[in-house]
């Protein structure tokens, strides 16, 4: 499990809201055992009952995705990336990505996150992760060559011990992929905070307008 970049380093007051919402709305669907995702109306109603203003929560949420300027973004794709033409599929990639903008259907950009925290040994899953990225890059390259459709491909890595102490050889392979064009950019560690907003701004400029 890796953290969702949207919710990293948010103020403690935000998490105070999260706990209150869980307390007041519940955590699971009764009788089904599934995680409950309450509607905005239910959240506001419950907060007002305990004399908490829901307006301040709304203002905090709005600041999370400022760079996207209202565009859709899939932070947890549960489907394979598909490229279509005239509503007919041209390619469906072999693996699920960790994120896609604005959607896994005809995305402008896709990304993978390779973070291996709290490991004391260097296992084969790190090697597998690198080769998965290579496979994705090759599929994206073939799409560009055969169909003249470009999808931006990003890799985000972190965990100093894994990459800089145990896995230098695989770090070199990542640098190779970057220069061979299989990955458009690699974001390392805290670069997601400094670099990602400007990347999102560039994606927004190349995306179609939001329908009114």
Mean per-residue pLDDT over the chain, rounded: 80
SS in 3 state form for 42-84?
HHHHHHHHCCCCCHHHHHHHHHHCHHHCCCCCECCCCCCCEEE
**The pLDDT value given to residue 161:** 72
Per-residue pLDDT tens over the stretch 59-115: 565 447 566 666 788 888 888 999 998 888 899 999 999 999 999 999 999 999 887
Residues constituting the chain: 212
**The pLDDT value given to residue 172:** 82
* Phi-psi category of residue 191: left, alpha or beta, with phi > 0 → left and psi -120 to 50 → alpha: alpha
User: What does the CA dihedral 89, 94, 100, 103 come to, rounded to 10 degrees?
Assistant: 30
**The pLDDT value given to residue 212:** 46
Could you tell me the pTM of the whole model?
0.65
Residues of the chain with pLDDT under 50: 62-63, 211-212
């Amino acid at each position: 499990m890796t953290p969702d970049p949207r919710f990293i380093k948010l103020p403690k007051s935000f998490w105070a809201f999260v706990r209150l919402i869980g307390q007041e709305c519940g955590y699971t669907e009764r009788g089904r055992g599934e995680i409950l995702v309450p509607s905005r109306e239910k959240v506001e109603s419950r907060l007002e009952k305990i004399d908490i203003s829901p307006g301040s929560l709304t203002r905090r949420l709005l600041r999370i995705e400022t760079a996207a300027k209202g565009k859709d973004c899939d932070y947890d794709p549960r489907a394979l990336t598909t490229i279509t033409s005239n509503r007919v599929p041209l390619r469906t990639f072999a693996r699920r990505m960790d994120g896609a903008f604005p959607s896994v259907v005809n995305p402008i950009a896709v990304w993978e996150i390779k973070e291996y925290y709290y490991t004391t040994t260097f296992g084969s899953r790190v090697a597998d992760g690198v080769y998965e990225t290579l496979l994705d890059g090759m599929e994206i390259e073939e799409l560009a060559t055969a169909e003249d459709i470009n999808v931006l491909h990003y890799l985000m890595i972190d965990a100093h011990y894994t990459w800089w102490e145990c896995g230098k050889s695989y770090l070199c392979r990542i640098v190779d992929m970057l220069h061979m064009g299989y990955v458009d950019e690699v974001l390392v560690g805290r670069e997601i905070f400094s670099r990602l907003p400007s990347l999102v701004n560039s994606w927004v400029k190349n995306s179609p307008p939001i329908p009114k």
